[in-house]
Amino acid sequence: MQLHKKTLRVKTLAYKRLPLVIASLFIAACSSTQVQKPEINYADNYSVASVQSGSEALVVDLNWWQSFQSPALNNLMQAAQQQSPDLLISAERVKQAELQMRIANASLFPSLSASASSGESRSKPDGGSNSRSESTRASVNISYEVDLWGGIAAERASAKAGYEATRYDQDAASLSIKAAIASGWFQWLALQERIATANKNIAIAERVQKIVDARYNNGAATAADVAQQKTNLLSQRSSLLPLELQARQTQSALAILLGKTPQEFVLVTEHLLDMQVPQIAAGTPADLVTRRPDLAASEADLRGANADIHAARAALLPGISLSANAGKSASELFSLNPATQTSGWTLSLAQTLFNGGRLVNQKRLSEARRSELVLQYHKAILIALQEVDNALVAADVSQRQEISQQEIVANAERSLRLTEARYRAGTDDLLSLLDAQRSLFQAQDSLVQQRLSRLDAAVDLYKSLGGGWTLAAN
């Protein structure tokens, strides 16, 4: 009798504590789902922000390539929007992520199913006669899983975060492709300018070769002079070949980016030195997180990982489902009149008691995944800040180098004018004049390369700042 009373007290105590246990599990499952963000000490300004700021600085626009004032580049960007294979591929990935999100959202609604059957059976026992039976049945079933612990809602949140991350990845891919098109276009123009300069240098070397040959025939030059100039001419011709190869490869790369075959792709020439180099307002480091789609994608991945943890915790708790059914059955083929009507409902509660630690380890795995994504998000922000700083420094240095190179070109032009004047006056020979021309062409070639560096730095800065992308607009 005493043992029986003790057993009753234990059971009573267990029943009293059961609501507390369930409440504690509920609190554990519904713990804070706030996204854990890394701690970063943002500076007030970039290291060379003052160089790119001012009254003439441009706020980054989504159509940032128009600031270079290149009609041909605008046409390339328009063609890329419609035909670029990479952009089309990323768009299909967004469609897949959206469909996945819709699949997850289907859990908001109950599941409804219907079935119907009609059949006949015959039997004959040993020593007996044949018996025959017919039946027809139709039924409707409806079931719904109650999201008591928020696990299903967490799965929907995870799918939504995955869709957002894919959409942001598409924006980041679009920005990278457009930056690659702009850089490739500027490089192709620079190569055209350099090829033209190389041809001018070859023409000068050929004229010098004729002069040296004439002097050699008249005994005023040696065979070594002829060989030396011949070597110089061959070197000039040889230096042209890599430029032509790079130009062809660059044109083919642009064709692929735009979804065209290299054989049919033709570019319209513009003058690289006529390209405008915009001054860009970089803003502050703290607002970079809301301006780059790749950072937004990293944060969306983090939200998805946080939702996965919530779903894994909810999986440890009992599941509750409701179901109902209704149907008719008759003992005749293809007939429900007269019929027997049936209906019923079920409330079920299921709890996994032992599965070898699979659910617990799944929760731990989700938590470890979130910790990894927090570190990756932190690293992505640091890299983004570094990219902006590098682009600002490159824009600053390339601008100063171009100014210096412009002075070199001006001095080379002045030297050529003076040499031409002396040549006309008969105080200087033709070789000095040709050498002055070659020096000017080489200075102009370097100026083209410096302008290309400035344009590339501007493209890199647009890209590192997000290309006018904002989180609020997406």
Rg (CA), the chain: 38
In the DSSP assignment, the letter for residue 128 is: S
Give the distance, in angstroms, between the CA of residue 439 and the centroid of all CA atoms in the same chain. 45
How many angstroms separate the Cα of 199 from the Cα of each of 40, 47, 83, 202, 243? 54, 42, 36, 5, 11
Q: Where are the beta strands (DSSP E) in 64-183?
A: 111-123, 131-146
Which residue has 């160089």 as its token pair? 51
Alpha helices in 258-334 (DSSP H): 293-314
Domains and CATH numbers, the chain: 35-119+132-473 (1.20.1600.10)
Percentage of residues of the chain with pLDDT beyond 70? 87
More confident residue, 28 or 294: 294
Pairing of strands 131-146, 111-123: antiparallel
**Is this prediction's pTM over 0.75?**
yes
In the DSSP assignment, the letter for residue 59 is: P
Which residue has 């079931």 as its token pair? 143
pLDDT digits (tens, 9 = 90+) for 445-466: 999 999 999 999 999 999 999 9
Minimal CA–CA distance to 342: which of 357, 327, 332, 356? 327
Q: Is 401 exposed, middle or buried, given 0-12, 13-18 or 19+ CB atoms closer than 10 A?
A: middle
Alpha helices in 2-69 (DSSP H): 2-29, 49-52
Buried b / exposed e over 272-291, threshold 16 CB at 10 Å, is beebebbbbebbebeebbeb
pLDDT digits (tens, 9 = 90+) for 278-326: 988 888 898 898 999 999 999 999 999 888 888 888 878 887 787 888 7
| For helices 85-105 and 151-217, angle between their N-to-C axes, nearest 10 degrees | 170
Alpha helices in 122-222 (DSSP H): 151-217
Q: Band of the pLDDT at 26, cuts 50, 70, 90?
A: very low
pLDDT digits (tens, 9 = 90+) for 134-190: 778 888 888 877 777 888 888 888 889 999 999 999 999 999 999 999 999 999 999
pLDDT digits (tens, 9 = 90+) for 192-203: 999 999 998 899
Beta-bridge partners for 122? 132
Residues 6+ away with beta carbon under 8 Å from 151: 29, 310, 311, 313, 314, 315, 317
Edge-to-edge strands, sheet with 319-330: 111-123, 131-146, 319-330, 340-350
Kindly report the CA angle at 405 between 400 and 410, in degrees rounded to 5?
130
Which residue has 């100026």 as its token pair? 447
Q: Compute φ and ψ for 142, nearest 5 degrees.
A: -135, 135
The Cα 183–Cα 195 span in angstroms is 18
The torsion region of residue 339 among left (phi > 0), alpha (psi -120 to 50) and beta comes to beta
